[in-house]
Amino acid sequence: MAFDLKDLSEKDLKALITQAKKQQSALNKRKPVAQIRKKLVALAKAEGYTIAELFGGKAPAAKKAAKKAGTTRKVAPKYRNPANTRETWSGRGKQPRWLAELVKKGKKPEDFLIRK
């Protein structure tokens, strides 16, 4: 958040400083995020839930059933970014940005196939 302090009058600047000090004081009184996260996980667990069930993601029961059925598997990458070899793509879903940019420049996706 950036704004020009030069445009503020002395009165406005003092009011801004007062507001900033109040906000800083309020933030300093808060408990650390890790401590609150730990409490939330413990509360959810005590009630028989997981954080994923309460705040999004697939329910664990559905994941376990899919795993037992053997329907969850990782797809091997087919394409690799030559500029950053850690970036790969399986060829499924939307093209990653790095590949889309190279294709725009006239390259072909086949140029980045991972040779076995």
Quick one: pLDDT at residue 108? 93
* 93-to-60, 74, 96 alpha-carbon distances in Å: 24, 14, 9
Question: Per-residue pLDDT tens for 5-45?
Answer: 888 899 999 999 999 999 999 999 998 888 998 999 899 99
| Domain spans in the chain, listed from the N-terminal domain onward | 9-69, 79-112
- Cα torsion 14, 20, 25, 29 to 10°: value is 170
* 101-to-54, 78, 82, 106, 107 alpha-carbon distances in Å: 38, 17, 13, 9, 9
Distance, CA of 18 to chain centre: 34
Provide mean pLDDT across the span 86-109: 93
Phi, psi of 81, rounded to the nearest 5 degrees: -75, 120
Percent of the chain with pLDDT over 90: 56
Quick one: pLDDT at residue 115? 84
Mean pLDDT of the chain: 86
Provide mean pLDDT across the span 71-87: 86
Q: At 61, is the pLDDT very low, low, confident or very high (cuts 50, 70, 90)?
A: low
Model confidence pTM above 0.85: no
